[in-house]
């Protein structure tokens, strides 16, 4: 019975995020501002066509010219984005939240159009609640105490997966 309950919880945790794929939104970024941990002035990157994480670096692609920024120096990213919708309706509104870096080693950061207070819960893949707290999207979530592995994070009513290395 315990195994069946465990499988049911796992199925629900993965089914909910999978249903959002039916109305997938791709965000085309135009400008990215990197705000650093120290007192260094923010860097503005214009006409960024995509950004992604490679190792411990944030990679910003500006029409083929790629700039690498160490994730450990970043406090937050500010995105000036336009959304393009594929097969559904756009959900890049005031409540949309991006979580980065993924995978992470110590902190998760939030990128939003509007700073907001959120309820954050971190679960194991078995559905066990590990952390729960209220914080602002301008703050980071400390996950340094978690062992390496895959986790589910729920931010308000949105569910995501992340890896800790």
Is the same domain home to 15 and 42? Answer: no
Backbone conformation region of residue 15, classed left if phi is above 0, alpha if psi is from -120 to 50, else beta: alpha
Return the pLDDT at 81. 55
Is the same domain home to 103 and 152? Answer: yes
- Domain of 135, CATH number, reads 2.60.40
pLDDT, tens digit, 9 for 90 and up, residues 148-157: 999 999 998 8
Is the same domain home to 107 and 154? Answer: yes
Q: How confident is the model at residue 134 (pLDDT cuts 50, 70, 90)?
A: very high
Is the same domain home to 104 and 72? Answer: no
Return the pLDDT at 108. 93
Q: How far apart are CA 130 and CA 9, in angstroms?
A: 15
User: Structure pTM?
Assistant: 0.49
Q: Residue 75 domain-assigned?
A: yes
Backbone conformation region of residue 124, classed left if phi is above 0, alpha if psi is from -120 to 50, else beta: beta
pLDDT, tens digit, 9 for 90 and up, residues 91-113: 455 567 888 888 899 999 988 87
Range of the structural domain that residue 70 is part of? 30-85
Identify whether 101 is preceded by a cis peptide bond (ω within 30 of 0).
yes
164 vs 21 pLDDT, higher one: 164
Q: How far apart are CA 77 and CA 79, in angstroms?
A: 6
Is the same domain home to 107 and 155? Answer: yes
Provide the number of structural domains found in the chain. 2
Is the same domain home to 19 and 36? Answer: no
Identify whether 103 is preceded by a cis peptide bond (ω within 30 of 0).
yes
Is the same domain home to 15 and 71? Answer: no
Q: Residue 39 domain-assigned?
A: yes
Q: How confident is the model at residue 1 (pLDDT cuts 50, 70, 90)?
A: low
């Amino acid at each position: 019975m315990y195994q069946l309950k465990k499988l049911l919880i796992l199925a629900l945790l993965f089914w909910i995020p999978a249903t959002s794929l039916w109305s997938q939104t791709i965000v085309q970024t135009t400008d990215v501002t990197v705000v650093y941990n120290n007192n260094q002035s923010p860097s503005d990157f214009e006409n960024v066509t995509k950004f992604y994480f490679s190792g411990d670096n944030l990679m910003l692609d500006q029409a083929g010219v790629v700039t690498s920024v160490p994730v450990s120096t970043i406090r937050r990213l500010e995105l000036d984005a336009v959304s393009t919708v594929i097969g559904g309706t756009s959900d890049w509104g005031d409540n949309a939240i991006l979580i980065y870096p993924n995978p992470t080693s110590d902190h998760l950061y939030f990128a939003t159009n509007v700073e907001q207070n959120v309820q954050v819960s971190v679960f194991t893949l078995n559905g066990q609640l590990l952390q729960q707290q209220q914080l602002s999207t301008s703050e980071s979530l400390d996950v340094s105490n978690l062992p390496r592995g895959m986790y589910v994070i729920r931010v308000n009513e949105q569910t995501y997966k992340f890896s800790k290395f």
